[in-house]
Amino acid sequence: MKPVYFDNAATTRIRDEVIVSITEVMRHNYGNASSSHSFGRGAKSLIEQSRKTIAKYLNVSAGEIVFTSGGTEADNLVLRSVVRDLGVVHIITSKIEHHAVLHTIEQLKKEYGILVSYINLTANGDIDYSHLESLLQTKGKILVSLMHINNEIGNVLDMHRVSGLCKANNALFHSDAVQSIGHYDMDLQDIEVDFLAASAHKFHGPKGVGFAFIRKNSGLQPLIFGGEQERGLRAGTESVHNITGIEEALKMAYDNLKEEASYIKEIKQYFIDKIVKEIPKATFNGNSGNLDNSTYTLINVCLPIPPKKAAMLLFQLDLKGIACSKGSACQSGSSQNSHVLTEILSDTDLQKPSIRFSFSIYNTKEDVDYVVNVLKDFITD
């Protein structure tokens, strides 16, 4: 059995350099950053240096970066605050967002009676920009919440176009960028998004830490109350080692972005070519089978396997040492179909198994050969 990890959209292996950075801080910089003595000041200095580093890569000011426990908290912080404190009465989103966004919006609708509109989707899962433009004509304060990279099918949002439409219509724009930060250059002076969420473990950093980008003077209010950490926007003693971990992971991701992205693109294209050659009846969900129209970090494949046999597919792949997902990691333990695929696939294709394979610098073409051969053997057995 050859262990192969193709579930990088769920989480990534931590870089060795990040582990070193984290352990050094845990060993030597254990002060509480709110303490006034030298141990506390040292910890506070590390946090602020990390904030400045992240801000530099996104071309924003350090004060616009708020550390959180991850992307889910960042999404909740933004969505709940804009309704509760900024007067948003209408949220425009899509039905293929991450559940951190969808479930939060559903709860806000129950609590505050806000209007929620879902943008029409094309057959491949892209949003209908004309429909978005028409939805923005409604009265009242509006927030548009759309993810940059879809975590299941890899479709890419035109951030410039959406931010332009929002600005032209005096609407706020929030984006869950968990699948794109660390994988794409993001100049937030060029892309006029108001709020953005990111998570370290998607780009070879530690779990349990992420950040929200909050445009200055937004008026956003805290979700968690207590101390005055994170400029009063996120109470709680800071996880200094994790914050330095996200800094190191993001620094390495962006300093090596061109070379590593090129390598991963080769892996993805090789995977696509092998699937087309060895399993010609397979199809690719969303835009994931086309590198020009989707992220380079994943593919989502619908396989020609009958339902009864399909039920054993993930189990068999696991027995062969292959880690992948039937959707997002949040969905993989569920017997229900992916909410994303339900929106874009026919009833016939929904009866077939769809598997997401997601890539990193630690994957090889040999990994691809092994996985495709296992899939082919399972299909023809």
Which residues are catalytically annotated? 330
For residue 376, the one-letter residue type is K
CB contact at 8 A, 59 and 155: no
CB contact at 8 A, 286 and 151: no
Strand 90-93 vs strand 65-68: parallel, antiparallel, or unpaired? unpaired
CB contact at 8 A, 91 and 334: no
40's CB contacts (< 8 A; 6+ apart) are: 31, 32, 33, 34
Q: How far is CA 294 from the centre of its chain?
A: 14
Report the distance separating Cα 226 and Cα 59, nearest Å.
30
Q: Which letter, b or e, does each residue of 228-241 get, where b requires 16 or more Cβ atoms within 10 Å of its Cβ?
A: ebbeebbeeebbbb
